[in-house]
Amino acid sequence: MGRNNTKEAFGGPGIEPRWTHGAKDGVGTAYAASSRVWFTFWKGIITEVYYPTVDRPQLRDLQYLITDGKSFLHEEKRHLSSKLERLSRHALGYRCTNSDPDGRYSIVKTIITDPHSACVLQHTHLTGDEEFLSNLRLYALCAPHLEVGGWHNNGYVTEFDNRKVLMAQKAGTWLALAATVPFSRVSCGYVGRSDGWTDLSSNFKMDWEFDHAPDGNIALTGELDLKGSRDFTLGLAFGATEHQARTTLFQALSVPFGAHQKRFMEQWDRAGANIRPLGKTSRDDGKLYCGSFSLLRAHEDKSYPGAFIASLSIPWGAAKSDQDQGGYHLVWTRDMVNSASSILAAGDSVTPLRALIYLAVSQQEDGGFAQNFWIDGEPYWRGVQLDEVAFPILLAWRLRCESALQDFDPYPMILRAAAYLVRHGPVTPQERWEEVSGYSPSTLASNIAALICAACFARERGNEDTAKYLEEYADFLDCHVESWTVTTEGTLVPGIARHYLRILPERADNPIPEEDPNQGCIIISNSPPGAQHSFPAKEIVDAGFLELVRYGIRRPDDPVIVNSLRVVDAVLKVETPFGPCW
């Protein structure tokens, strides 16, 4: 342990960085647009934090390490049992109780963001036997992944008003960490080599204090001075300069946490006050409904109005390094229109209109939409999914039906998108599972519905020839749905020969396409190593055909629909303690 006088951490650049688990127990942000920071929560700790836009994760995780200095080291996410509660029906703030499995102590955390600035606030209260608590040491462990990556982060220690502040910087983004109680000891280290967890895990003591760790995969560690109090607020602030990050941090910490929480909850309660009252039709008096509505709203960016990402998460994040910057924190028009449509159904027509305008601006010159893209419009994956071209037309139609388009004219976008569907269909280069090209029941359903909606817009403009052409092409697709996507040789359920496939595989550029749903094989891309990955297309099903019913293209009692539901139930339905799942 002779390195404790060394100022620069050893072991750089650290082990290869990874993101955290893709599962989330909670998502939080203030409702106000001035608070441009979002946090996620999983297993009792803060995971990815996004700043200054909803598609830019800047942090892997932030948690406490707990030790008595001699016999144990607890990591919140690994060793403590966790209970999470929302603060109110509408607010996306949380109370988390992490408890020692032996019942000796608990850490009660209330997590919100500053209602008006880019700072995550975590009020912390320690409970337990005072004699036991007096021997505990509590450390904040922060893993910056600034500018969407773990490599090339720079950690260092500064001081303000005789208090130590942990900082990280990379490519024009700064992070600052401090609390309402001082850090008694701090260190910046390289993950897996000289970070705080590696230090404490060896002998339950903090032996290393490094004041900087440049250009690597780093972690920041600070020991909280709990001599005077068992209550404190930890702040994590961001900025475009060091000065801005530190100013934001200490301005947030200067206001009592209770005042922040009151304003935070008032913002969300006002925003949810006028949604449609569906609580009486639910089993929980509308708690899930209200929380879900706020959750959808939270996925809209605060700098690019109307830009909704699919999810504040990185799937399979624990296996992903910097080479793959993507995740679900991107715009998919399919997910975005579904979110906007749900918000519209709840009674908010202003937010979905912002979404439609954003999509119109993001449309490509040929009328299509990128498979997914950053919120500034830059494509990430460049595949083509025809349903994602159809969905913006459907959103425009729903807003028209609600007389909610105001002074915005979506017709140019609609016409370009409809033309794209005609030119590039009916085979979609990718279907909604983003793996296979071919004839997809769910894609065909969205395309037929979108073309009919586009025809209605055209007819309202007096463009009868265009309207008639779009309707005739939609009829062409409609009359081929079964011949393209219904097998007559089904083997999954005895006695049911005719049912919908997930997709009939075919190349989009094949001039003589395969149109027999009894033929063809589908490749399942994400099969485990060594497992079967090629299957007859007629044996792979999903519930995508139900889009035909949702859009009114097929009746719910259509015999093929009914039989397909029986197949899906037999193959995909799983009973859980909380009810059936597919």
The residues annotated with a catalytic role in the active site are 431, 434
Place of tokens 């939270």: 298
Kindly state the tokens that stand for 368. Answer: 């299509």
Q: In this structure, is the dihedral angle defined by the CA atoms of residues 514, 519, 524 and 525, taken in order, positive or negative?
A: negative
**Torsion 146-150-152-156 (CA) sign:** positive
Q: How far apart are CA 87 and CA 98, in angstroms?
A: 16
Burial of 227 (0-12, 13-18, 19+ CB in 10 A): exposed
Give 304's strand partners.
Answer: none
Q: What are phi and psi of 343, to 5 degrees?
A: -65, -40
Burial class (CB in 10 A: 0-12, 13-18, 19+), 172: exposed
Distance CA 305, CA 310 (A): 15
Rg of the Cα trace of the chain?
27
Q: What's the one-letter identity of residue 133?
A: L
* Residue whose tokens read 């929480």: 261
CA distance 156 to 165: 9
Which H/E stretch holds residue 412?
helix 411-424
DSSP letter, residue 52: S
The 8-class DSSP code of residue 69 comes to: S
- Other C-beta atoms closer than 10 Å to the C-beta of 468 total 13
Tokens of 260: 């922040």
